[in-house]
Amino acid sequence: MITEILSKENFTIEDIIKLLNSSKDEQTELFEKSAEIKKKYLGNYVYLRGLIEFSNVCIKNCYYCGIRKDNSKVSRYNISDNEILEAAKYAYENNYGSLVLQSGEVQNRVFSDRIEKLVKQIKSLSDNKLGITLSCGEQSKETYLQWFNAGAHRYLLRIETANKELYKKLHPIDDFHDWDKRLDCLKDLKEIGYQTGTGIMVGLPFQTIDDLANDLIFMKNMDIDMCGMGPYIEHFDTPLYQFSKDLMTLKQRLNLTLKMIAILRILMKDINIVATTALQAIDKIGREKAIRIGANILMPNITPISFRDKYLLYENKPCINENSSDCKNCIDARMKIAGNTIEYGKWGDSLHFQNSIKM
């Protein structure tokens, strides 16, 4: 039955829902198709982004997140500029090609100027060779522009869910946590010229299969360049934890995330899709599974080890006690097993973005 859908040029929302509901047997067919598309359009290659989680200070209170402002159990850190630059040097010297600077959300002048300076310093220490992705939440268009002009060229901002009503259930209802504002941020990023990435969580309380199908359509309509989707993993010290009993099992969430990745790969053949760390928190080879069926980006953690146990957005986060070189050796072996080759020292820009510039 899904054979017919998979042979189509374009999917309707009903098609996507059927694919998301596909049985174990049918799912194999879906994954074969998405793997074939990845191979045809992108080759079996994986690009790296060394991830530096440089601060867990956050002004927001997302109900699902372990480092939300009101979680007083978190010990807050802010890695020094020197340590960040050391980590960047590590990424450069080990041929990662790109890095991601990620943090909780902070909106002020000192913060924007600091990031601007760091971006410039990273560009200069790497002879302009390291690609820089930022993931520092919602900011004014001026700030996004300031960072772009400093040399950042990709930005990740997950919409979390394309359903505005669901978004309201996952966040406090105030000006600070406004779905429309988040959407405007994505539009600003695109207008400025960033390769723009978004994403959602899979298996959230109150989320339906229709919501997930709409998330995929949202990404297609937004014409995004990159996507990071991961399973929702409950964190004990968060307000959303109280709804844990109604959730799908972790395995089901993982499986559904894989289906989402496969369908997105078929819908958007040339975008970059991340095999997220949250997949690995559920299944030791969760990221490898994602790479096999369509993801092409891996974000090994290169945060200095002493801070890693403090950036816990969800429980069971992997690589807390591994240092950067452990992770490097580990992923090398893992990607080989997944039948993919890591392209060291390359930016691995979204082909989708490059193709849209050419047009």
Residues contributing to the site for ligand 5AD (CB under 6 A)? 64-65, 158, 160, 201, 230, 232-233, 235, 278, 313-314
What is the smallest separation between the CB atom of 330 and ligand FES, expressed in angstroms?
A: 3
d(CA 126, CA 95): 10
Residue with tokens 């979204």: 350
18, 68, 154, 334: which one contacts ligand SF4 (CB under 6 A)? 68
Longest CA span, the chain: 57
What is the smallest separation between the CB atom of 188 and ligand SF4, expressed in angstroms?
A: 17
For residue 196, give the DSSP letter: E
Is 104 or 300 the residue whose CB approaches ligand FES more closely?
300
For residue 249, give the DSSP letter: P
Query: Is residue 235 at the binding interface for ligand SF4, with CB under 6 A as the rule?
Result: no
φ and ψ of 45, to 5 deg? -120, 150
Q: Which stretch binds ligand FES (CB under 6 A): 130-138, 196-204, 308-316, 323-331?
A: 323-331
| One character per residue 281-320, x = contact with ligand FES (rule: CB under 6 A) | -------------------x------------------x-
Is 32 or 184 the residue whose CB approaches ligand 5AD more closely?
184
83, 86, 105, 283: which one contacts ligand SF4 (CB under 6 A)? 105
What is the smallest separation between the CB atom of 101 and ligand SF4, expressed in angstroms?
A: 14
* Helices 286-293, 24-42: inter-axial angle, 10-degree rounding: 70
Write out the binding residues for ligand SF4, residues 135-164 only, by CB under 6 A.
Answer: 137
Query: Is residue 335 at the binding interface for ligand FES, with CB under 6 A as the rule?
Result: no
For residue 248, give the DSSP letter: P
88, 162, 331, 342: which one contacts ligand FES (CB under 6 A)? 331
Q: Which two tokens stand for residue 45?
A: 């290659």
Query: Is residue 104 at the binding interface for ligand SF4, with CB under 6 A as the rule?
Result: yes
Question: Which partner from the list ligand SF4, ligand 5AD, ligand FES, none does 20 bind, CB cut-off 5 to 8 Å by kind?
Answer: none
77 neighbors 103 (Cβ within 8 angstroms): no
194 neighbors 226 (Cβ within 8 angstroms): no
Question: Which partner from the list ligand FES, ligand 5AD, ligand SF4, none does 154 bind, CB cut-off 5 to 8 Å by kind?
Answer: none
The CA-atom distances, in angstroms, between 319 and each of 149, 325, 348 are 33, 11, 24
Question: Which partner from the list ligand FES, ligand 5AD, ligand SF4, none does 104 bind, CB cut-off 5 to 8 Å by kind?
Answer: ligand SF4
For residue 129, give the DSSP letter: -
Is 42 or 132 the residue whose CB approaches ligand 5AD more closely?
132
* Residue from 166, 153, 36, 40 nearest 97 by CA: 153
Query: Is residue 322 at the binding interface for ligand FES, with CB under 6 A as the rule?
Result: yes
Q: Report the 10 Å Cβ neighbour count for 94.
A: 17
* Residue from 95, 147, 76, 125 nearest 309 by CA: 76
What is the smallest separation between the CB atom of 225 and ligand 5AD, expressed in angstroms?
A: 17
d(CA 265, CA 31): 10
Query: Is residue 327 at the binding interface for ligand FES, with CB under 6 A as the rule?
Result: yes
d(CA 50, CA 93): 12
Amino acid at residue number 174? D
What is the smallest separation between the CB atom of 296 and ligand FES, expressed in angstroms?
A: 17
37, 58, 162, 186: which one contacts ligand SF4 (CB under 6 A)? 58
The DSSP bridge partners found for residue 51 are 100, 301
Q: Mention every residue, 6+ apart, whose C-beta is less than 8 A from residue 125.
A: 85, 88, 89, 92
293 neighbors 316 (Cβ within 8 angstroms): no
Is 57 or 351 the residue whose CB approaches ligand 5AD more closely?
57
What residues make contact with ligand SF4 under the rule CB under 6 A?
Answer: 58, 60, 62, 65, 67-68, 104-105, 137, 313
What residues make contact with ligand FES under the rule CB under 6 A?
Answer: 300, 319, 322, 326-327, 330-331
